[in-house]
Amino acid sequence: MKLAFSTLGVPGLPVSDVLRLATAHGYHGIELRAHPEEPVHSGLSTAERADVAAEFKAAGVEILSLGGYAKVAAPCEDDIVITEVRHLLELARDLGAPYVRVFPGGTEKQSPEEADAVAARRLGRAAEYAADLGVRILLETHDSHRTGADAMRILGLVGHRQVGVVWDVMHTWLGGEQPSESFAALSPHLGYVQVKDISSAEDTTPVPLGAGTLPLTECVEVLSRHNWDGWLCWEYEKRWYPDAPELPELLGPGREHLGRLLNDSA
């Protein structure tokens, strides 16, 4: 499996510095948080996009995915969400990223059936555009659809190979699923896996990998047992927890911990 980390852990850090961290600690790729407060976002010019792509190529590091914030089940006009997704897809094409990440984003004002249908309709429309650009849309297990079973309700309605899923191991665990259950649901559509660790179910403050309560060992064992050979991406949510330790000092030990998990499960 290849290893990546998310720039959510190093908010606002210039691309050149992110790449230095990746190469120094042996990470193969980066999940770029695509947001206006970050160096990479859909407002970049053509020349700026080319510069970012060239920096990654020169460093020998892959752009795993663009972490966007479109909420495909949100109660709003379809065109608002689809336009946001299209802009993210265009940015991914220009940077050479294979995936873009979107959220479910359903609300309590909707029934589960309504949220599923809204999300599936929008993803189905966006999928054709994604296919033309050679980019895949991945729905993260998150918020209103945090388990594998939840996400599959949407993906089953979409039925398009250009739409898949990001398995966020924290959310499926908080939703009550065991890793084996999550993988069984998601494996036909799995783009990559977001790993992390937290203090507890009641306190989701990020902690170093292996120092918290999430079943990372079981997750890696399930993936290895089924010969899944994709990406593990460490999403350290420093952006939302300013008092958490800085990610750069944790990248080396985190890389070593993931390496041990992979070796032990081989």
pTM comes to 0.97
226 neighbors 186 (Cβ within 8 angstroms) = no
The DSSP secondary structure of 220-258, one letter per residue, reads: HHHHHHTT---EEEE---GGG-TTSPPSHHHHHHHHHHH
Q: What is the mean pLDDT of each run of 10 residues along the chain (266 residues)?
A: 97 98 98 97 98 98 98 97 98 98 96 97 98 98 97 96 98 98 97 97 96 97 96 97 96 97 88
Q: Which residue segments constitute the domains of the chain, with CATH numbers given? A: 2-265 (3.20.20.150)
The rounded distance, in Å, linking the Cα atoms of 81 and 205 is 30
Tokens of 6: 């998310």
pLDDT at 266: 75
Cβ–Cβ contacts within 10 Å for residue 76, how many? 11
